[in-house]
Structure 1
Amino acid sequence: MDRPKVNKDWKEPERISKYPVGSTCDGGTLVTINAGWRVLRPVINQDKCVNCLKCFLLCPDGVISKGEEKLTIDYDYCKGCGVCAYECKLGAIDMVKEEK
């Protein structure tokens, strides 16, 4: 078995501000649609949100998008894990029961 090649020219950025920002790929790149097993879904309270983008950066599925004035969530690909709500220190994201 061949070993993977290592890029020896790659250098770790000196500061965190030099790292790329955002999700690695758009929501739905790996799956075509959420399987429908989500129990809770995140809802952003736009009055409390200050656009700090912490939820955008930490969403494991990359379903939070930056709009012109507000953040939006693509519910087709959100699995309802609650990471965004947990990490929002302002309490601007509530996890509400999913309704069919």
Structure 2
Amino acid sequence: MAKETGIMSWKELELGNSITRPGNAGELKTGDWRSMRPVTDYEKCTKCGQCYIFCPDMVYKKNAEGYYEQNYYYCKGCGICAHECPVSCIAMVQEGD
């Protein structure tokens, strides 16, 4: 540990199970630390796909009806999808509501 700062260097950190195998990012649930989540009003949705295009975590997938649905397992609640939606059909709500 660095004496001046009290911060451990990267060489001193313990490896966790989540980073021991290359290519396992899809197995990691990253939506647990979300405080807001996107909710889509499909009656207003035009199926334009802007939510899919702008989502930095690629949590949107097209369903059989052509709508884009969120995978909350990976969604971090950043709100970019709601901001970019041209018809404002995505609302950010408190997690748990």
Q: 1:29: how far off? A: 3.7
Q: Deviations over 1:4-24 (max 9, x none)?
A: xxxxxxxxxxxxxxxxxxxxx
Report the TM-score, using the length of structure 2 for normalisation: 0.69
Q: What are structure 2's unaligned runs of at least 5 residues?
A: 1-23
User: Which protein shows a greater Rg?
Assistant: 2
AA in 1 matched with 2:71: D
Report the TM-score, using the length of structure 1 for normalisation: 0.67
Q: Percent identity?
A: 41
Find runs of 4+ consecutive structure 1 residues off by over 6 angstroms: none
Partners of 2:57 and 2:37 lie apart in 1 by 13
Residue 81 of structure 1: which of 78, 82, 85 is its match? Answer: 78
Partners of 1:60 and 1:96 lie apart in 2 by 19
Q: Tell me if structure 1 keeps the 8 A contact 2:39–2:93.
A: yes
Q: Tell me if structure 1 keeps the 8 A contact 2:40–2:89.
A: yes
Q: Tell me if structure 1 keeps the 8 A contact 2:31–2:75.
A: no
RMSD, matched Cα: 1.9
Partners of 2:31 and 2:95 lie apart in 1 by 13
Aligned residues: 73
